[in-house]
Amino acid sequence: MLRRFSFNFTIFSMLMDGLMVLGSLVSMSYLRIVMNKLNFIAYLPADIRYPVSLYVIFPLIWVGLLAGFSIYDGKKFFKLVDELSTLTIASLVASISQAGILYLTYRDFSRALFLMIVAVSFLLCLLWRLVARLVFRLRKETLNISRNLLIVGTGSELHKVEKAIRQNSLGDHIIVQVLDLKNPQDFVGETPDFCPETVALVRSRVNEAHISDVVIAFPRSTSDWIAAISSHLEDLSLGVWVALDFYDLSLSDTRVENLAGLPLLDLRAPALDDYSRILKRAFDLVVGCLTLVIISPILLLVALIILIVDGWPVLFLQDRVGENGRLFKMIKFRTMVRDAEKLRVQVERIDEHGNIIHKSLSDPRITRSGRLLRKLSLDEFPQLINVIKGEMSIVGPRPELPYLVENYERWQRRRFTVPSGITGWWQVNGRSERVMHLHTEDDLYYVDNYSIWLDIRILIRTAWVVLVGKGSF
C-alpha cells in the first residue's frame, strides 16, 4: 500500500509531476494547432515539430526544481497551505528556467503555447496533489505514522511545546505524552532538582511507553538537563529533539560596527539595514499601487454593499501601534456595528495565563456583511492606503492595539523594529486562531530572518491561506 510519508510515495510524486508536465506539453501542442481558428492567435503550421529534447528537458527541470524546494518532503510540507505555497514558487522558478532555455535554444517556440504549457502543468500538479490528499484522508490507515512522542521539560516551556505539537499533529495518528519534571507526582520523597534519578525516570518512561521520539523542552538556562537527558538516551533507537525557548531567542539583534576607530558590538542595531529598507519600500509602493488599481472595482463594490446593508460609515479607522511605537490610523472596511469599541468590554475575556483575548468567532458586534468580508479578508484591502502613505508595509508584524501593547513585556516590543504589515508570518501560520501573546514569536522570527524573498514567500502563502479560508474571523 502506498503511504504518503514513504520513499515510494516520493518517487511516485516525482513521476506524477514529470508525467503532468509531459502530458501538458503534448496535449497543449495539439490544442495550439486547433487554436489557429482564433483571430487573435498567430497562425501555427499544423506540421510543426519541436525538438525531442524538450520533451525530456521540460519534465526534468520541473521535477528538479520542485525537489530543490523540498516539495517532495511530505513531513516538511504536511499542511496543505505549505505545500501549495511552495508548489507555486517552485513552478514559477521552473517556468522562468524553461523560458530561458527556449530563448537560448529554440526561439521559434510559440509564446502562447509556452504560457499554456506552464499554466496547465501547474494546475495538473496542483490537482493530483489535492486528489491524493483526499484519498489519504478517506483511507485513514495510509496516514498512520507510528510515532509516539514524549515531551520532557518544565513549566511554561513544556506546555507551550505540548500545545504546539498537539495543534499541528495528526490527531490520533501521533500519540503525545508529557513528563513534567517539576510535577510532584513524579517525585516521591525528593525535591524536583536535577539528579541521576530524574534521568532514570525519563529513560524508564521511554521504555515503558515504547516512545519513538523524545522532545526536550527546557529553558536555555537549564542546559545541563538537556545534555544529561540526551546523553543518557544515546543507546536507544529513537529521535531526540530540543525545543528552543522562544523568549531566549528574543534578544536584540547584534552587529559589529566601527565607532571612532574601534570595533564595538551594537546591541541596538536596526533590524533592517539601509539597503533592505529601500528595497522593501520600493516593493511596497510597486505592489501596493498596482494592487490598488487592479482591485479598485472590487473595493467600490464592497463599499456599496456595506452602505446598502449596514449603512454609513463604510470605512473604519482605528489607532494602531506601528514601527518604533508610532501611532497611526489603520484603515479597514467596517465589519462591526457602530461604536463597537465601546462594547469591547462585553466580549473581552482573560485566558488562564492572564492574557487578554479580544477576538472571537462568535463576536456579536460583527455585522452580516462583515462576517463574509472577514472570511474572505476583503476588509483588509483599504490598508493598501496605509502602505502607500508609508505607515505600513505589505508584509510585516501585525499592527497592534495600543491598550494591548501597554501589557507587552520587553522582549515583545522588538516586533516594532520593522514596519507593520497587512500580512505576515503570524497570519499565514494561524491567523486569528492565534492571539496576541501567542503570535509574537512568529513576528520575532520575521524580524530576525527578514529578506525580500521571505516577503514574497509570505505573500504567496497568504493567497493560499485566504483561498483555503482557515483561521479568519
The three cell numbers of residue 200 are: 532514570
Arithmetic mean of pLDDT, 205-209: 82
Arithmetic mean of pLDDT, 401-426: 83
Predicted pLDDT at 229 = 77
C-alpha atoms less than 13 angstroms from C-alpha of 436 in its C-beta half-sphere: 23
Residue whose grid cell is 472596511 = 333
Predicted confidence (pLDDT) per residue in 52-94, tens digit: 888 888 899 999 888 888 888 766 656 777 788 889 989 999 9
Nearest 5°: CA angle at 65, between 468 and 453? 60
DSSP string over 226-279: HHHHHHTTTTSSSEEEE---TTGGGSPP-EEEEETTEEEEETT--SS-HHHHHH
Q: Is 140 left (phi over 0), alpha (psi -120 to 50) or beta?
A: alpha
In which band, very low, low, confident or very high, does the pLDDT at 223 lie, cut at 50, 70 and 90?
A: low
Predicted pLDDT at 8 = 76
Antiparallel, parallel or unpaired: β 315-321 and 262-266: unpaired
Lowest mean pLDDT among 45-54, 198-207, 304-313: 45-54
In which band, very low, low, confident or very high, does the pLDDT at 395 lie, cut at 50, 70 and 90?
A: very high
C-alpha atoms less than 13 angstroms from C-alpha of 45 in its C-beta half-sphere: 6
Q: Is a pLDDT exceeding 60 seen at residue 279?
A: yes
CA distance 418 to 452: 13
Predicted pLDDT at 386 = 93
Predicted pLDDT at 406 = 81
Q: CB neighbours (10 Å) of residue 52?
A: 8
Predicted pLDDT at 248 = 45
Predicted confidence (pLDDT) per residue in 98-115, tens digit: 888 888 887 778 788 888
209's CB contacts (< 8 A; 6+ apart) are 148, 150, 177
Predicted pLDDT at 246 = 46
Sketch out the chain's domains with CATH numbers: 7-141 (no CATH), 145-245 (3.40.50.20), 274-468 (no CATH)
Predicted pLDDT at 5 = 61
Q: Is a pLDDT exceeding 80 seen at residue 358?
A: no
Predicted pLDDT at 244 = 59
Q: What is the mean pLDDT of the chain?
A: 76
Q: Is a pLDDT exceeding 90 seen at residue 123?
A: yes
In which band, very low, low, confident or very high, does the pLDDT at 270 lie, cut at 50, 70 and 90?
A: low
Closest CA to 105 of 58, 153, 147, 162: 58
Closest CA to 110 of 34, 16, 57: 34
Residue whose grid cell is 535554444 = 105
Closest CA to 315 of 364, 254, 384: 384
Predicted pLDDT at 7 = 67
pLDDT: which is higher, 25 or 340: 25
Predicted confidence (pLDDT) per residue in 312-351, tens digit: 888 989 899 988 888 999 999 988 877 766 666 666 666 5
Q: Is a pLDDT exceeding 50 seen at residue 260?
A: no
Predicted pLDDT at 468 = 72
3-state helix, strand, coil in the chain (%, to 5): 55, 15, 30
pLDDT: which is higher, 449 or 223: 449
pLDDT: which is higher, 387 or 441: 387
Closest CA to 282 of 145, 455, 465: 455
**Residue 63 host element (H or E):** helix 54-68
pLDDT: which is higher, 200 or 13: 13
Predicted confidence (pLDDT) per residue in 180-190, tens digit: 876 544 444 44
pLDDT: which is higher, 408 or 146: 408
182's CB contacts (< 8 A; 6+ apart) are 154, 155, 192
Q: Is a pLDDT exceeding 60 seen at residue 10?
A: yes
